[in-house]
Amino acid sequence: MTLPFQGIGASVRRKEDLRFISGRGHYTDDINRPGQLHAYIKRSDRPHAKILSIDTAAAKAAPGVVAVFTGADTAALGSIPCGWQIHNKDGSPMAEPRHPMLAEGFVRHVGDQIAVVIAETRQQAKDAAELLAVEMEDLPSVANVTDAIKPGAGVVHEGIAGNLCYDWHIGDKAAMEAAFAQAAHVVTLDLTNNRLIPNAMEPRAALGDFDSSTDDYTLYTTSQNPHVIRLLMGAFVLGLPEHKLRVVAPDVGGGFGSKIYHYAEEAIVTWAAGKLKRPVKWTAERSESFMSDAHGRDHVSTARLALDKDGTFLALHVQTLSNMGAYLSTFATAVPTYLYATLLAGVYTTPAIYAEVKAVFTNTVPVDAYRGAGRPEATYLLERLVDAAAHDTGMDRIAIRRKNFIPRDAFPYQTPVALQYDSGDYFTTLDMAMKHADWAGFPARRAEAAQRGKLRGIGVSTYLEACGIAPSKVVGSLGARAGLYEVANVRVHPTGSVSVFTGTHSHGQGHETTFAQLVTDQLGVPFSQVDVVHGDTAKIPFGMGTYGSRSLAVGGSAMVKAMDKIIAKGKKIAAHLMEASADDIEFKDGKFTVAGTDKVKTLGEIALTAYVPHNYPIEELEPGLDETAFYDPKNFTFPGGCHICEVEIDRDTGVVRVVNFTAVDDVGRVVNPMIVEGQVQGGVAQGIGQALLENAAYDADGQLLSGSFMDYTMPRADDLPNFNVSTENTMCTHNPLGSKGCGEVGAIGSPPAVINAVVDALRDYGVRHLDMPATSAKIWGIIEAGRPKMAAE
Amino acid sequence: MYDFAFQTPASVADAVKLLADPEARPLAGGQTLIPVLKQRLNKPTTVVDLSRLGLSGITVSGTTLTIGATTTHRTVARSAEVKQLIPALAALAGMIGDPAVRYRGTIGGSLANNDPTADYPSAALALGATIKTSARSIAADEYFQGMFATALQPGEIITAIEFTAPEKAAYEKFSNPASRYAMVGVFVARGPKGVRVTVTGAGQNGVFRHTAFEAALSKSWSPDALNGIATPVDSMNADIHGSAEYRAHLVGVVAKRAVAKTL
């Protein structure tokens, strides 16, 4: 029987999908432990206040209530930690205020945890929470970064002057200034990267369990990285050693970054389970998600580009205010620095770049990495700025890009902002995207649309991003408080089936399929004989989890390394069985052969021998066929590509429709083309959402105005066209797979393509820039304001 | 939600009796009440389920269309009788919410709730419908009394809505991008009540008749007849999705599109 090809490059159907689409997934909230209690968290409805008193007596006396805890009970425990320390321009460390599990005297954002009520049922906990008497005194508050740094603004944390977390910079200021002094053109653009609320389909949940007979704690949680949670919560917050704390992240229904971080609720239920000697479960309601899941983006920037008279970029100067929210979430501080400012070279040869970033506290939900994390902000700024440069200088948008692209033969390419790109070909992705989008035919389509009364525009974005953040030595020197390698354990069972234990985590990405394909490809084991296991610190040796599109490039590479060890050991066993030298053994398609002979042993035979070592080189080799590898990458990977968006605007209402969207991405080696296409489509949908629809709106004081789906516009299927998605790949040169990562490219490349298209559609109205989201109301305002001007001309 | 008693009466009289309790709440399709209960914004003693009162169904007598109060939006949208007699009404029902909402939501529930962004009030007012209740008949002109306010007395429930077929009618809406409720919905009708133009979603005080548009369309039933006729900005809602000026502008755009649908 010939099996269909299911190795690298095959669009194998996702093996996890039957479970998910038939309701047999097993999520955190599906787990129930004997004697389980339920936690309800009383949250602040005020943006900033001093807690004068909390009277818990009535709540404690309510039916079914087992305990009520406030900040007074948890004050001796550690602070929710921040995983990355940034240093100021002057070398001093960033301001790092305490981030308590439960509010200690102050609430600092709407949604901040004041108290937890634990009862026999969720209903009872919720009922009792209404009996909590919390006396508060409002304090001056501030929601946006530009207000927060003004003198006299509300102070989020006592003692942190000007609400400044850090004032950081990168690049060569003198070189930048010298280049600007020589420039023929200087293009300036002020722009905002709108705040987003992630809204994974599954709300966050956490279940803490404690076994008083062994003192073992277990936390079941909606996490993208259970080992990281074990480290952060165990070591920094609760003081629990690793061997007494197991963290399980079972099926997780979407993360997009929001489930990377260690959240207070995880520590609360774990600590409370130990205290009460009973399991404690908390599951967020959707409205809680809006005000307690880390938000994304929220930058305000000024960018200046210096060009010579021919349009060659000479220098870039960027000043950014980044909103941290009220507390520092796990990776919040790294996002606007090492995941943002280091990307400001983009795909261009700009020789001098200087970026200054101020991270600012406000009375809002903490902000952290959200699909793309820093790279969408950099890409949006750069690709809008390049379009503005074309606009201001009269150059063609495509020509100015081509003129400044990093040449194909310039790799490895060292940027002036720390990164060294290993590979890429921005000319090919641009050419292919223009072809697929029929760029040349656009003027005719615009004219035809005009006859229908529509304003049609086309926009391009040529982007680059960085995935698989690494190596550990470098990120450590930059302030990371963890390593960024990945771990794989490959276990060949006695009869030849394989279990792979990976430190990455799948919450929609399809790892169970993609990683099984790697095993099928490398070990020649049928796809059906491979299982991928993830999400449990008791099963997986170690791992850093899934974010930053790292799972295949870093986690997959660890698997390749572990399988290399399997093959090396298998060769020794095969050599013994076939009475040959190990150097003469070849391994291909699941078979060990002696070179130049017809002697053959299958992997299954070798595995059986390894576990039943009756005829075995026991003096030289241990039994078993089970190998672990830790893989620490040499560099980031650098996916890139070109997105082209075409929009039509209804003059009467200002409504923007995306009518065509073309993506040609370079993601390196593709293991499963169908899954890659799905990843890109999902990312593009989120990018279009940011560009046209989504906005976390706060009033000036910090009340969340878009606190539900009634007011927060999530993109829906009918907001989106069919996407034309393809890849043109160059290989990553430093990992064994050649893969670069595909999880975020869609969300990174698309927003500027959309806005560039909207601006193009509105070019007759004198529009040079507009901020996201390009809502119909905003565009109608522009059209209205432009009407008299149009009439006069 | 808070605890409450749940009753499923078998007759209108029994339902009315149960609703004599001022803290009891009637449940039709539940598309508003259930979310409100889940958010603990309402704490009823009893929820009175109206689904077993025999109030679902559509009947036609000459040019009169009678729709039972608990008839779902889906049923109205797909009804051959409604499509034939008042196609605009069937089209409107098909534009409410999403399929799940249309399977559960009812015409009586929508009119009793009188959400300022609901679709049905515009049709009832524009078509001069008669709201039949457990106690009486109420003309639509008297029925709508501002947002979430109606002529219904405590304990009074809608049993049916009676429409007379117009000569021409159409409904058009501009949906709120997030909630997909009507940001501006306009129903235009020409029939026994003359020319009527009603606006839902946009106004600060719920559904209203746009008399300036009505006068213009009475002279000439065409989209262009509405050119240059302003909608008072100060009566419009404003929120993060759009200013009062934008809504006032959209009222004109949407009204023209509704008229164009009838041509």
Q: Which of A545, A552, A633 is nearest to A228 (CA)?
A: A545
Cα(B201)–Cα(A280) distance, integer angstroms: 44
pLDDT for the residue A1: 54
Please, how many CA atoms are within 13 Å of residue B78, restricted to the half-sphere of its CB?
Answer: 9
Distances (CA, A) of B220 to A127, A150, A507, B60, B256: 60, 58, 59, 31, 12
Are the beta carbons of A712 and B178 separated by less than 8 Å? yes
In terms of domains, do A716 and A785 share one? yes
Say if residues A194 and A298 touch (Cβ distance below 8 Å): yes
Are the beta carbons of A711 and B243 separated by less than 8 Å? no
Distance (Å) from the alpha carbon of A360 to chain B's nearest alpha carbon: 25
Say if residues A430 and A401 touch (Cβ distance below 8 Å): yes
pLDDT for the residue B229: 97
Q: Which of A87, A169, A735, A633 is nearest to A416 (CA)?
A: A169
Distance (Å) from the alpha carbon of B13 to chain A's nearest alpha carbon: 34
| Number of independent structural domains in chain A | 3
pLDDT for the residue A788: 55
In terms of domains, do A388 and A408 share one? yes
Identify the domain containing residue A527 by its residue range.
17-22+485-631
Cα(B70)–Cα(B52) distance, integer angstroms: 9
Average pLDDT of the residues in B105-133:
98
In terms of domains, do A524 and A648 share one? no
- Mutate which: B4, B115, B179, B186, vs A, most A CBs within 10 A: B179
Locus of tokens 């959240």 = A263
Are the beta carbons of B178 and A780 separated by less than 8 Å? no
In terms of domains, do A524 and A422 share one? no
pLDDT for the residue B89: 98
What parts of chain A have a pLDDT lower than 50?
Answer: 791-793
What is the 3-state secondary structure of A159-199? CCHHHEEEEEEEECHHHHHHHHHHCCEEEEEEEEECCECCC
Distance (Å) from the alpha carbon of B141 to chain A's nearest alpha carbon: 30
The distance of Cα A643 from the centroid of its chain, to the nearest Å, equals 20
Q: Which of A646, A739, A725, A638 is nearest to A678 (CA)?
A: A725
In terms of domains, do A386 and A508 share one? no
The CATH number assigned to the domain holding A501 equals: 3.30.365.10
Closest-CA residue of chain B to A715: B178
Does A158 map to a domain? Answer: no
Q: Which domains does chain B have, with CATH numbers?
A: 5-49 (3.30.43.10), 58-164 (3.30.465.10), 168-262 (3.30.390.50)
Domain boundary among A292, A310, A344: A292
Closest-CA residue of chain A to B251: A653
Are the beta carbons of B178 and A777 separated by less than 8 Å? no
What phi-psi label fits residue B230: left (phi over 0), alpha (psi between -120 and 50 degrees) or beta?
A: beta
Closest-CA residue of chain A to B3: A123
Task: From chain A, pick out residues whose CB is under 8 angstroms from the CB of B177.
Answer: 693, 713, 775-776
Domain boundary among A612, A631, A650: A631
Does A189 map to a domain? Answer: no
Interface residues of B toward A, Cβ cutoff 8 Å, are 2-3, 39-40, 174, 177-179, 239-243, 246, 249-250, 253
Closest-CA residue of chain A to B253: A652
In terms of domains, do A361 and A463 share one? yes
Are the beta carbons of A777 and B246 separated by less than 8 Å? yes
Task: From chain B, pick out residues whose CB is under 8 angstroms from the CB of A693.
Answer: 177
Per-residue pLDDT tens over the stretch B11-65: 999 999 999 999 999 999 999 999 999 999 999 999 999 999 999 999 999 999 9
Cα(A776)–Cα(A652) distance, integer angstroms: 10
Say if residues A139 and A48 touch (Cβ distance below 8 Å): yes
| Residue A471 preceded by cis peptide, ω within 30 | yes
Does A504 map to a domain? Answer: yes
Interface residues of A toward B, Cβ cutoff 8 Å, are 123, 126-127, 287, 652-654, 693, 695, 697, 705-706, 709-714, 775-777, 780-781, 784
Say if residues A442 and A646 touch (Cβ distance below 8 Å): yes
Are the beta carbons of B39 and A287 separated by less than 8 Å? yes
Say if residues A475 and A484 touch (Cβ distance below 8 Å): yes
In terms of domains, do A129 and A223 share one? yes
Q: In what order do the strands lie in the sheet with A106-107?
A: A106-107, A49-55, A133-138
Does A179 map to a domain? Answer: no
Choose among A127, A713, A781: nearest Cβ to B177: A713
Does A184 map to a domain? Answer: no
Distance (Å) from the alpha carbon of A711 to chain B's nearest alpha carbon: 5
Locus of tokens 């070592």 = A613
Choose among B40, B241, B253: nearest Cβ to A777: B241
Domain boundary among A275, A292, A309: A292
Distance (Å) from the alpha carbon of A65 to chain B's nearest alpha carbon: 16
Does A65 map to a domain? Answer: yes
Locus of tokens 């990776």 = A331
In terms of domains, do A441 and A507 share one? no
pLDDT for the residue A2: 67
In terms of domains, do A627 and A640 share one? no
Task: From chain B, pick out residues whose CB is under 8 angstroms from the CB of A714.
Answer: 178
In terms of domains, do A282 and A308 share one? no
DSSP B27-57: ESS-TTHHHHHHTT----SEEEE-TTSS---
Choose among B39, B40, B243: nearest Cβ to A777: B243
Q: Are strands A216-221 and A245-248 parallel, antiparallel or unpaired?
A: parallel
In terms of domains, do A609 and A660 share one? no
Does A108 map to a domain? Answer: yes
In terms of domains, do A686 and A699 share one? yes
pLDDT for the residue A793: 45
Does A163 map to a domain? Answer: no
